[in-house]
Every structure is written in C-alpha cells, then in structure tokens.
Chains A and B, each alone.
Chain A
Amino acid sequence: MEQRAREEILGRLRGIPKRAVDHRPDMPPLRERSLDHEEMIATFIEELTLEEGVVYRVRDGREAVARLTEIAAEEGLQRVMISTDEIVASLDLPAWGREQGIAVLTPWDFGDRDSFRDAVFDEVEAGITGADYAVAESGTLVIAHDTNQPRLISLAPIMHIALVPATRMVPTYEQAVEEIYGDTKDIPSHVTFTTGPSMTADIKGKPFKGMHGPRRLMVILIG
C-alpha cells in the first residue's frame, strides 16, 4: 500500500512536462564575510547580547574555570549536567565539581534514556556544554550532537552554559554547515543552532524568555 501511494504521487508529479530552471540571480556576499577575527568576536557578542544571551570573554581554560566558579557561586548551583565533548573534557569539570562541592553529572553516569531524562529534567540546575562553532552574523552557537553531546543537556535545564574557543568563530552559517555536512559519509544525527535563551510572544504579543528551553544562556568565549 505504501509503495502504491509513493508511485501514484510521484507518477502524477513526473507526468508533467519539465520546464527549464532559471539560474540563481547574483547576490552580494554578506558583510560578515569581510570581518577580521576580533570584529567577528565583537559582532558575535553584540548579536547574542541583543537576544539576552550573556557572553564572558576569558583568555584560557584556567580563566574559563574561574569564571565558571563565579557563575556557580552567583547562581547557587549545586548540581549540574555536563557533556563530555572535547572542550568540556579538556577542563576536567568533575575535578572542579569535587573542589567546589558541586555535583557534576555526565551522561555516562546513566545506563538508559529514562534515568538520564529524570536527571536532566528534574535534578540539575544547569547544563554545561561545548559548542562546535560560534557564528558572528547572529550570535549563534552551532552544536553537532553525538554520544558525547546529548541533545537534552543544552535544552532541559533552566540554564545553559556554553564553553566556546574563540578559534571556533566563523562569519556566517555557511562555514559551519560546509564543514559539518561536507563529508556526506559521516553526518551528525542532530545539529542545533542556538541564538539566545528560549522565548515566545504568544500571549498578547508580550515577549519573554524561558518558554520550554533554557531561560538563561551564558557563553564563556575562550581565547
């Protein structure tokens, strides 16, 4: 039955004589393409701040952890979930957690989806992840999800803290997408673009942050 539906639909579509396709009109390149490294960073910070994301700039991993400590103190964080991507892994946050008396959970602590879901929905106050790219054009984080980067860590907790090396800064979405999808043999199952906290304006047109996703997004830009 399914094959028949497919054949009928495609049959009707194919039955129409093909028309020539005009080639795409020219478009000048986006302004962001001509930004240098520092300008990209400035643009990224400006754009994300407009969306109520908070960006901290630090020089290296050590300062990143120091900033994290400050955030944890300000926000009274006691339990966090971290991903185990290479950026987060390089900072040894489990050790940091032991020093600070903060419970640091990772997805590997859980044997199955349900126990992981219970933790990430109800038991942690923040999700800490790395990011694969930071896009200057709109202050956007690009995250490719895999076994070390579960989807819910940057979504379920009320706060999302992203650690991003400044070397990952790119001017526009195309650079990130070319690298992620370029090698068609190995594409991530899930990729997210995040630009600020979650939001809505569905009641009376009044916008506010923190609808279903995180209410707060903090980016620690390293380098």
Chain B
Amino acid sequence: MEIRTTLFNEIAEKEIQNPYARAFLKVLPVAIAVRRKAVMDSFPDPNAAQACGQAIRAEVVARLPELLEEFEKNALARGAKVLWARDAGEANEMVLSIAKERNVTYVTKGKSMVTEEIGLNDALAESGIEPFETDLGEFIAQQLKRPPFHIVGPAINVPVEEVCDLFMEKAGMEKTTTDPVKLGYAARLFLRDKFHHVSLGVTGVNMAVAETGTIINLENEGNIRFNKSSPGTQVSIMSLEKVVPTMEDAMHLTRLLSRNCTGQKISAYVSMDSGPKKPGEIDGPEELFIIIVDNGRSEIYGDSVAREALRCIRCGGCLNICPVYAKIGGYPYGWAYSGPMGQVLTPLLLGLDRTQDLYRACTLCGACRDVCPAGVDHPLMFLYYRSKDVEEDRGLRGKKRPWKESRFFGLWSRAVTHSVLWNLGVRLVRPLVNRYSHNGVITTMGGFFKGWFRTRNLPPIANKTFHERWSGLRRKATGRQSGENR
C-alpha cells in the first residue's frame, strides 16, 4: 500500500468535493454512532462498562511483556507455532516462506489492519502468490487498488455502478446489476470457490488471550471462519498490543468492540482458536502459525505518553464521531489507519516528520476520547506530538515547522510571556482592530483573519484594558492615601 500521509491536505480538499464520499459520510457514521449509544444502554451502567474496558486495556499496556510471554507459553502448549517479527519485512518473509514450503499458489485472507500495515498483499503478489481478500469491502478495495475508506466499511463509499463493473471484470459476474444484495451474492460465489480449495488461510487477530493461549476473531460475514476451517494451514497475524489477560476480559471486550464497531450487541460470528485442530478432526488447520508483529511498537513502548496508543482495539468508534473524519472520509489519512485512531497510531509508526498534517487536523473537541472503550486520550496525544515535532524530538522523528511559522510563534511566545511586551502590543494593536467595530461588535476583519470571523464575532478591545484601569485605580488610591496623611 502506497503511503500518502504527506498528501493529507491535498487529498482532504479533493475528498470534501467528492459527492459519493459526502453522501455516505452524512449517513453511515452518524447511524452507527446513534446505534452505539442505544446498544451501550444494554449495560446496566454503560459508563462503568466503558471504564472497565479502559482498565483492561490500561493493564495490557502496563503488563505487555509478561502478558505476551504468558500468551506464547499457553499457545505453544496447545500446539500452535508462535513467531516473532521485528518489522514488516520479517513478517512478510515468514508468511512467504510458510507458503512456499507448502507450494501454495493463492491464499484467502480475512480483514486485518496489521496485514495492510506491513503490506502483506503486495509481498505475496510480488512472489507470485495471489492473495484474495475475502471480506466483501476489502475485496472491492483490493480489486480497485484503493486504501480503506472506513475501518469497518473499507469500500462503503464506492458507487454500485463501479462495483458492478468491477465484478463483471474480475469476479466472473455475468449479468449487470446495481442491487447491493445481488452484487454481494456474486462476490459470494466467486470467493466460495476460493474457500473450497484453499490450502493456506490468513487472518488477523482481535484478541490474544494470555490465560489460555487462544486467539479470537469477530466478524459478520463468515470469511474468517472459512480461513480457520477449510485450509490445512492457518496463519494468524497480530500486532503485539492485541493481547488481553483473561477469557473474562476477552468477553467484556467482545461486547465493547461489537457495540462500538457496528452498533451490534455481538457480531454474527466469534471464533476462538486454541492451537491447531486435534487428531481425528476432519477440518481445521493441521498447523496454526501465530505471528506477533512489532514494527516499531516496542520502541514506542519506551515513551510513557506515546505507549498509551497501544490501548487501541481498532473498534472505529472514534471515526464515527469525529467532525473532521465526517467531512473528509478515510483516504486523506494516507495509510492503513484512518480517523482519530489513525492520527494517533500512524505518526508513531511512520514518524512525526512524515505525518505532520495528521495530528494537526484536529479541533481537540475530545468526542473521540469520550467514546473510546480503550481509554485512548487522542487530544492529549496530538498536543504531545505537536510539541515533540516542534522540539525536533529524535526518538519520534520530530521535524521543525516552516521557518515563517517557527519565527512567528517564537516571537508570539516571547510576547505572551512578558507582560510589558503584551501590554505594549495591546495598546499598539487596539486602534487597528477597533476600526472594524460597528455597533459595539466586530463581525469581520480583512485579509488573513476573515475566515475566523465567518462563524464568530468579537467585542472590540476596551478603551481601557483591565491593566490600564487597575494602574489608574492604584494611582488614585495611593494619591488619596498620601493626601489623607497630610
């Protein structure tokens, strides 16, 4: 997947004009957010339920290394093979070598953000092994060579006419149709044939339970279950923060993940694997490989603020509530992760220097933080990244701002931290600002500031500021005193 995080502003401006994106964004994220609220009310105390989820994820981050070791130990005891990959290249190499050793010509894949992060599909295709995305939205996005538009509905913005053309060309569909249901069934037939004969299935992992060595996946379509049932080899890839302490924790997170992701109580299917199939079972994988991917996370872990980004469970709740995402959709974020959670994670994985617009494209309204079941504080993270960027932090790869901006804010920070300069500045600026005042209010100003005034007014600067009145009062008071003492 091409990384286009440096083109955020450009792509955002384009997407704001896109009628399909706008039509979708007006409807679906809002609908999911509304459903989410309703279904969270199935908890006797939704706030307590959310707090509990946040506590689970806080514990995961605090105890990450020991939980990973416990998970590995228990997974190995069940007969799974657990592999560790330091970066994308190592992870892809592992999958390739597993596939080549078994003479695999194609794989079927469930939706997995980490596999998009590491670019697994490209690595497979380059080695002559055809990867088939089997989640309907991912299948469409893959065939159209587009990044995901929304974490849950990667191709949900694509017009049906385009899907129809695509399926006729690439999925063996014979009759034209724009009915989403008929299109879905066409994809079903095409991919069913792949499931029938596949020998290597690839999945992601929603949760890796340390207590039992079990990996858990949530889905609605059934494609992940096929990848876990039909082929003789299963490869499940997890970023290392997906571990959870106990089965009980996993059940609670299953409830929160489903409610935040799609507004459901639970997804249509939850599947749990503890090792490969047992002897005598006729289906299921003979071999289960679990690949634990680092790709920069263990380094992030060293930063006590940044590491909290590892709480994220990829529910997409933040996307559905974000006023910025609601206008621009997923493409501008330029990579596998979009919306507020993309703005939190991508800068840490790719560097603050390559993602400067991502963590600045935020009003800090905090709606994302308020719905997050994992307790990520997105606005806090963005402020942290902004300061680390300006400071040119080595670890996070901060990069100084353009010199005009740096200069301006250097002077500004001097002015606002020295009261003499501030007070002088106000006196100088007052006549310039107040000439825009009509009837006691400033409704607009020229030039650079015009945009700010489109939705706001200001009162004029007072003829005497509080400082000036205070000095005047003090002078009067001391004057009177000395007068009285005569």
Binding site for B on A (CB under 8 A): 2, 5-6, 8-10, 12-16, 18-31, 47, 51, 107, 110, 112-113, 116-118, 121-122, 137-138, 140, 145-147, 150-152, 155-156, 172-174, 177-178, 181, 184, 187-206, 208, 210-214
Tell me the nearest residue of chain B to A15, going by C-beta. B302
Chain A nearest CB: distance from B405 CB in Å? 34
B38 on the A face (CB < 8 A): no
Binding site for A on B (CB under 8 A): 24, 27-28, 31, 42-45, 48-49, 51-52, 55-56, 58-59, 62-65, 68-69, 78, 83-86, 90, 134-137, 140, 153-156, 158, 160, 163, 180-181, 183-185, 188, 191-192, 195-197, 211-212, 214, 220-223, 225-226, 228-230, 232, 240, 247-248, 251, 254, 265-278, 280-284, 292, 294, 298-299, 301-302, 307
Q: In the bound complex, do residue B156 and residue A205 qualify as a contact, i.e. CB atoms below 8 Å apart?
A: yes
Chain B nearest CB: distance from A154 CB in Å? 9
Known interface pairs A5-B90, A151-B229, A206-B181; A29-B222 also in contact (CB < 8 Å): no
| Contacts A/B (CB < 8 Å), 30 sampled | A9-B240, A9-B294, A10-B69, A12-B298, A21-B59, A22-B55, A23-B55, A25-B55, A121-B192, A138-B265, A150-B282, A150-B283, A152-B283, A155-B226, A172-B251, A189-B277, A190-B277, A192-B225, A192-B271, A193-B266, A195-B265, A198-B268, A198-B269, A201-B156, A205-B24, A205-B28, A205-B156, A208-B184, A210-B188, A213-B225
Known interface pairs A191-B271, A205-B153; A12-B229 also in contact (CB < 8 Å): no
Q: In the bound complex, do residue A24 and residue B282 qualify as a contact, i.e. CB atoms below 8 Å apart?
A: no
Q: In the bound complex, do residue A152 and residue B229 qualify as a contact, i.e. CB atoms below 8 Å apart?
A: yes
Chain B residues within 8 Å of A116, by CB: 282-283
Q: In the bound complex, do residue B269 and residue A192 qualify as a contact, i.e. CB atoms below 8 Å apart?
A: yes
Chain A nearest CB: distance from B262 CB in Å? 8
CB-based closest 9 A-B pairs: A213-B222, A202-B137, A151-B229, A13-B65, A212-B222, A12-B298, A193-B270, A203-B180, A211-B221
Known interface pairs A29-B44, A212-B188; A51-B136 also in contact (CB < 8 Å): no
Q: In the bound complex, do residue A212 and residue B191 qualify as a contact, i.e. CB atoms below 8 Å apart?
A: yes
Chain A residues within 8 Å of B188, by CB: 210-212
Specify which of B52, B154, B275, B278 is in contact with A25 (CB 8 Å cutoff). B52
A177 to B228 alpha-carbon distance, docked (Å): 20
Chain B residues within 8 Å of A25, by CB: 48, 51-52, 55
A198 to B135 alpha-carbon distance, docked (Å): 12
Tell me the nearest residue of chain B to A18, going by C-beta. B62
Known interface pairs A5-B86, A203-B163; A51-B268 also in contact (CB < 8 Å): yes
Specify which of B158, B294, B302 is in contact with A16 (CB 8 Å cutoff). B302
Chain A nearest CB: distance from B95 CB in Å? 14
- Starting from the known contacts A113-B283, A211-B136, A212-B134, 20 additional A-B residue pairs (CB-CB under 8 Å) come to A16-B301, A21-B58, A22-B55, A24-B56, A113-B282, A117-B196, A151-B228, A156-B226, A174-B251, A177-B248, A190-B229, A193-B271, A199-B268, A200-B220, A203-B158, A204-B156, A205-B24, A211-B221, A212-B188, A212-B195
